[in-house]
A = this chain, B = another copy of it.
Amino acid sequence: MSDFPKIAVLGGGSWATAIVKMLSENLDEIGWYMRSVYAKEHLINEQHNPNYLSAVEFNTDKLKLSNDINEIVAYADYLIFAIPSAFLNAELEKLTESLDDKIIFSAIKGIVPETSKIVGEHFHDIYNIPFENIGVITGPCHAEEVALERLSYLTIACDDEKKAKIIANALASKYIKTKVTEDIIGTEYAAVLKNIYAIAAGIAHGLGYGDNFQSVLMSNAIREMSRFIKKVHKMKRNINNSAYLGDLLVTGYSVFSRNRLFGNMIGKGYTVKSAQMEMNMIAEGYYAVKSAYKLNQKNGADTPIIDAVNAILYQHKEPKKVFKKLSQKLD
């Protein structure tokens, strides 16, 4: 028997599925809430999530599966949210169970559109969860590589180090290394901002800029991220640690990133609407840039890349012209 507290994952997507797989290496029981009745039945009958990372086989004896979010919230002490930020609010509105005394870990990399807050702040401000009960799980980590058991590194952030360590130990295995940090604000903003920079990388690619420019863009992006986060929450952090720079790189250089793909289509001349329809989903960075831009209007960090992406997506400026101007500001 493991001596872990009761842990549950909320979400049915690829990152949620990857997290359940990681937890399965250590825990005897994992709560798992997913909306799809079909996916739950398929998991019970076939031991696979039919929609995401479908090659991963689960020992379903360990899984406490439910389509009822309240059942899973009632069950667990630690709740790991891995629901896309665009759907989080709608899911939370179903709650009748209290979140008091629950430890909330966010594995979501985005801004809650309804409140323009990062997930930790959303839970803190709307649900009165004290910050010592809020944590963040960040990569650099593609879920697909967890499915393949390729060595990956996670950073677990929580004000309360003991809680961070519990989740870090629950996730660590022969193919997952974990470290803990106190920087919940910085790691969560890094995870949000990197999606904006991945959109920028995609736009640049779509416009025909090459690898030389991409490396300059990423070099400027990490400096911009550092300035942005410092204004939000000043503390001693090494922005080149994996949770910040590593996460930026794995997304910015990934041809599979939805944010990069979305940016690429914008750069190639698609409108925002047609790109979203074509992709049949909304890239998280699309919401993130609006909120990040607004927040930074108050904070006043120098953020030419965020400004450029915002101008293209929300002020209908021509990508080619905006990036020409941006390229003058990079160095």
Q: Which residue of B lies closest to A220 (CB)?
A: B242
- Contact between B245 and A210, CB atoms less than 8 A apart: no
- Contact between A223 and B211, CB atoms less than 8 A apart: no
Specify which chain B residues have a CB less than 8 angstroms from the CB of A327 in the assembled complex: 151, 177
- Contact between B246 and A218, CB atoms less than 8 A apart: yes
Q: Which residue of B lies closest to A247 (CB)?
A: B215
Specify which chain B residues have a CB less than 8 angstroms from the CB of A208 in the assembled complex: 150
Task: State the Cβ distance, A75 to closest chain B Cβ, in Å.
Answer: 30
- What's the Cα separation between A213 and B145 when bound, in Å? 10
Specify which chain B residues have a CB less than 8 angstroms from the CB of A250 in the assembled complex: 211-212, 214-215
- What's the Cα separation between A216 and B150 when bound, in Å? 13
- Contact between B211 and A145, CB atoms less than 8 A apart: yes
A-B contact pairs, 15 of them (CB 8 A): A139-B212, A140-B212, A140-B216, A152-B212, A153-B330, A212-B250, A215-B249, A215-B250, A219-B242, A219-B249, A222-B245, A223-B240, A239-B240, A242-B331, A249-B253
**Residues of chain A whose beta carbon lies under 8 Å from any beta carbon of chain B:** 139-142, 145, 148, 150-153, 177, 179, 208-216, 218-220, 222-223, 226, 238-242, 245-247, 249-250, 253-254, 327, 330-331
